[in-house]
Amino acid sequence: MAGPLSHIKVLDLSRILAGPWSGQVLADLGADVVKVERPGVGDDTRSWGPPFLKDADGNETRESGYYLSANRGKRSVTVDLNTAEGQEIVRALAARSDILLENYKVGTLARFGLDYASLKEINPGLIYCSVTGFGQDGPKADHAAYDFMIQAMGGLMSVTGERDDLPGGGPQKVGVPIVDLMTGMYTSVAVLAALARRAETGQGDYIDIGMLDVMVGSVANQGMNYLVSGKTPRRAGNKHPNIQPQDVFACADGHVVLVVGNDGQFARFCDVAGRPEWVADARFASNGARVRNRDALLPLMTALFRERPMQEWAALLDEAGVPCSPINTIPQVFEDAQVRHRGMLMSLPHPSAGAVPQIRSPMRFAEAQLAFDRAPPLLGQHTAEVLAQLGFDEARIARLARDGII
């Protein structure tokens, strides 16, 4: 069965992570994604290592782990956009594409005649999505941005990390580039929504995605907590601001995360813990009471958890239907029985390494299989193939390569 987007062509002019992450999502869904890169250099993330993928002889390739995480399923074409013939190639690709992704600095592609207004003339149905740090307008529109600084600007680091008055306190960034990833997912949702609209109207669209907008839009409950109460949310370590008890607890031999989501789960926890009296205690009887009195409840629970090993706690609470888990390392994640059962770790054939590990997309369809048939491409791996599909003959392709245009 073909993927749900097997009829869609995507031109990916983006680099780093947010745009490429969206391109990979679309490729997994079956779209033909052509990734345009700089000759000889390519996407910045190709060099963001170590670690780098090793070839069959154990030597490092040019493909970093970072690059390999976001470019599966694409075809790589090298084009110098600073040249008239390079721009012609991109226009030819755009003319046959359904979706275009780009994350150039505001105004850059207009200088090349590759902005939405120009490409709309040759392809009115094109869905053109610009991904930038701050969007296409405003006082910071022309500023560069990276995930780390947007986590800071958008308030995420003000609510992430241990309390300032405790050991290890202070602002922390999330351990993965969450703003880039969320931006990539919002980008995917937006272009697919535009694609659905085009099916009704026949018209393309221009989409403006800003990373800071994404971060502000993703503060979710913390943002609404402030808007409703007028109180500034603060870092609270692993403690949930609205639901208790939810925290990390040290056991006799390690740590577990306990995630009590409602009063029924709290009652079952108390049964397992041998503390049924806590359910009747007015300080702990309801979630609201537990949130207000967490400074009284959590020390009691901290002492309790130290009495048993973490696997014993996890097994007992799991049997009782109370969400609880040991804290896995990344290697342990891939050894987890549920993760293995779901096939989240896979391998794809790779031209220089023989095979490359990949983390499977979490999307699953009953009627349309996702496409996992291309490893993240080598730089320029598909240039000749794609140009031939555009009608370029071998002599012209050879000349373009000789002149450094591809």
The catalytic residue positions are 180
Q: Is the peptide bond before 276 cis (omega within 30 degrees of 0)?
A: no
Alpha carbons 387 and 76: distance in angstroms, whole number: 11
CB 268 within 8 A of CB 320: yes
Residue 234, classified by CB atoms within 10 Å of its CB into exposed (0-12), middle (13-18) or buried (19+), is exposed
Q: What are phi and psi of 12, to 5 degrees?
A: -105, 100
The number of beta carbons lying within 10 Å of the beta carbon of residue 375 is: 25
Instruction: Note if the bond before 241 is cis, omega within 30 degrees.
Output: no
Q: Which residues does 312 contact at the CB level (< 8 Å), separation at least 6?
A: 251
Amino acid at 371: A
The single residue listed with the structure tokens 């359904």 is 98
CA 62 to chain centre: 23
Nearest by Cα to 131 from 41, 289, 21, 277: 21
